[in-house]
Amino acid sequence: MSPLTVIFVVPLLGALLIGLVPRNYRFVIRSLALLATFVSMLTAIWMFCSFDPGQAVRGYQFVEQHAWAPSLGISYHVGVDGINLGLILMGAVVLFAATCVSWRIADREKDFYILLLLMGGGILGSFASLDLFFFYFLHELALVPTFLMIGLWGRGEDKTYATFQITIYLSAGALLVLLGFLGIYLQLPVDQRATVGFDLVELTKWFKAHPMPPGAQHWIFPTLLFGFGILVALWPFHSWAPPGYGSAPSATAMVHAGVVKKFGLYGLIRVALPLMPDEAQKWVYVLSALCLGNILYCGMVAMRQRDLNLLIGNSSVAHMGFAFLGIASLSLIGLTGTVLVMVAHGFLAALTFALSGYLRDEVKTLNIGEMGGLLSRLPFIGTVMIMAMLAGCGLPGFAGFPGEALVLFGNWDRSAVVTALAIWGALVIAGIYMLRAIRQIWHGDKTWTEAPDAPNLWRKFPFGLLLAGLIIFGCFPRLLTDNIKISVGPVVRSIGADPTDTASSPIPILRRR
């Protein structure tokens, strides 16, 4: 059995087992959840370490395939290459950390952990899947618990509306994606539908040999672009994200912002770009304009927030702009950067939402204006959060920096102006809102008497784990990029750009010699 199957089935099995445990066995429920996510994380780490970079050129590793509905061309097919390797590792670590920090949940624990494990198992399975049907289905499996959890355990006065909004937006996005997938399927000749079917590897091969007609690409690509875009909060479809995360329980915000949201970016790289390269070329200009909306506009909105969760939410949306910018560069460097940004942002978003959840529980407020001087009271939590916030404004040493740098380098030849504006967003705007937040929350002379710091190693552990992820990949980015670039190469090649070079620049603003 492939380790990939273990990674996502164990949490799902855990959910099933918890379902059988009586409601008042709270210790058993929590232990089961921790055990399941821990096993999943260990397997993911083992898989990451035993992934063979030498074999990466050949394609997927740890492949497992079983026929499921042969007449429709649907099979259970999992595999991992450089693109989803880091994502699965990050997802499994975030899921375990999210389970760890949920110890404060006291209300309907059983349902909470079932939903959390469904969410985590679902999205990990989706990232592992190489069959469009399972890819989509498992993502939906992760999405629906998100809505329920925000609705049931969410906080804040705007909770109901936030739940409503996130449900409508994300369902609409997912629906567009479904439409796009069906469109792709229908582009197959009838006799191929059973053999090629929904299998991503076969589909990629088929459409490489028989390019999709431009007429079909013309509507399928934008459908997928905006469908996936809505799921990742592409500007101007971002307004679900900040209030949604603001109201969500910490664990939900961690897993959704950190992991589930990456589905859209992953889908663009894995499905939309390689299958519809011609149309992708045409849309990158729109995409790079929109991602400036994320980087600049949402960054400025973040500056004006008074609520910590809304600030983090907006900053997280702004970070997604860099991931989109890397995709819009259509270059090997930029796309590699995108995948690195996805992994880095997963750790970072999970870490910041976990910390803000801690503050909400202990300090009883998330209003930045009411805080101040907390660093002396909460030295551990404060130090970790300051590090996270510095990581959020692109400090070297954390994984976000090499990711964003690659994106910016990769996009320079396509458009120097867009890149320069993005650098402004990365260095200056992000710096302003993060440093203002640090100043107002942690520094200052306000004295606190309540609000205890994380008391023991066990409570500190999840934060340390996520921070370690950021630092390890920040100091040694090659652990990820060496595999990413090999797997991204064919995607870039299929678009027609030479993977050894940057973008094939249609408008050479500054020509490379």
The nearer residue to another protein, 216 or 432, going by C-beta atoms, is: 432
Among 331, 483, 487, 494, binds another protein (CB under 8 A): 331
How many chain residues bind another protein (CB under 8 A)?
A: 61
Give the range of 5-13, 342-350, 361-369, 481-489 binding another protein by CB under 8 A: 481-489
Q: Among residues 82, 313, 321, 431, which is the contact residue for another protein, using CB under 8 A?
A: 431
C-alpha span between 331 and 256 (Å, rounded): 28
For 182, counting Cβ atoms within 10 Å of its Cβ (0-12 exposed, 13-18 middle, 19+ buried), the class is middle
429: its two tokens: 């705007």
Q: Which range in 15-23, 53-61, 322-330, 476-484 contacts another protein by CB under 8 A? A: 476-484
Q: Which residue in 68, 424, 448, 461 binds another protein (CB under 8 A)?
A: 424
Residue 156, sorted as left (phi over 0), alpha (psi -120 to 50) or beta, turns out to be: left
Q: What is the pattern of x (binds another protein, CB under 8 A) and - over residues 239-278? A: x---------------------------------------
Q: Does 448 bind another protein (CB under 8 A)?
A: no
- What residue type is 276 in one-letter code? M
Map tokens 């506009």 to a residue.
297
435 binds another protein, rule: CB under 8 A = yes
Q: Does 34 bind another protein (CB under 8 A)?
A: no
Q: Which residues of 110-128 are buried (b: 16+ CB within 10 A; e: fewer)?
A: bbbbbbbbbbbbbbbbbbb
Stretch of residues binding another protein (CB under 8 A), selected from 5-13, 200-208, 341-349, 474-482: 474-482
Q: What are the residues facing 199 on neighbouring strands?
A: 131
Residues facing residue 76 across a β-bridge: 66
Interatomic CA distance for residues 419 and 483, integer angstroms: 25
Q: Give least dist CB 236 to another protein, A.
A: 7
State yes or no: residue 428 binds another protein (CB under 8 A): yes
Of 21-29, 141-149, 199-207, 500-508, the window that binds another protein (rule: CB under 8 A) is: 500-508
Question: Can you give 185-241 as a three-state secondary structure string?
Answer: HHCCCHHHCCCCCCEHHHHHHHHHHCCCCHHHHHHHHHHHHHHHHHHCCCCCCCCCH
Candidates 17-25, 114-122, 298-306, 454-462; binding stretch for another protein (CB under 8 A): 298-306
Q: Give the other-Cβ count within 10 Å of 66's Cβ.
A: 8
Q: Is 490 in the site for another protein (CB under 8 A)?
A: no
What one-letter code names the amino acid at 113?
A: Y
The verdict on 88 binding another protein (CB under 8 A) reads no
Which residue, 36 or 406, is less far from another protein as judged by CB?
406
Would you count residue 406 as binding another protein (CB under 8 A)?
yes
Residues 6+ apart with CB under 8 A from 49: none
Give one DSSP letter per residue of 240-266, joined into a string. Answer: THHHHHHHS-HHHHHHIIIIITHHHHH
Q: Is 501 in the site for another protein (CB under 8 A)?
A: yes
Q: Does 412 bind another protein (CB under 8 A)?
A: yes
Q: Which of 72, 420, 452, 496 binds another protein (CB under 8 A)?
A: 420
Interface segment toward another protein; rule CB under 8 A; list 9-17, 48-56, 63-71, 326-334: 326-334
CA triple 268-484-198, angle to 5 deg:
40
Do 79 and 128 touch, CB atoms closer than 8 A? yes
Residue 451 within binding range of another protein, rule CB under 8 A: no
Q: Which residues contact 506 (CB under 8 A, 6 or more apart)?
A: none
Residue of 71, 106, 190, 513 interacting with another protein (CB under 8 A):
513
225 or 310: whose CB is closer to another protein? Answer: 310
- DSSP one-letter code for 477: T
Q: Say whether residue 172 binds another protein (CB under 8 A).
A: no
Tokens of 372: 């101040």
Among 332, 349, 389, 465, binds another protein (CB under 8 A): 332
- Lookup: tokens for 261: 């949201």
- Footprint on this chain of another protein (rule: CB under 8 A): 161, 164-165, 168, 236, 239, 297, 300-301, 303-304, 331-333, 336-337, 373, 375-376, 390, 395-397, 401-402, 405-406, 408-410, 412-413, 416, 419-420, 423-424, 427-428, 431-432, 435-436, 438-439, 442-445, 477-478, 481-482, 485, 499-502, 510, 512-513
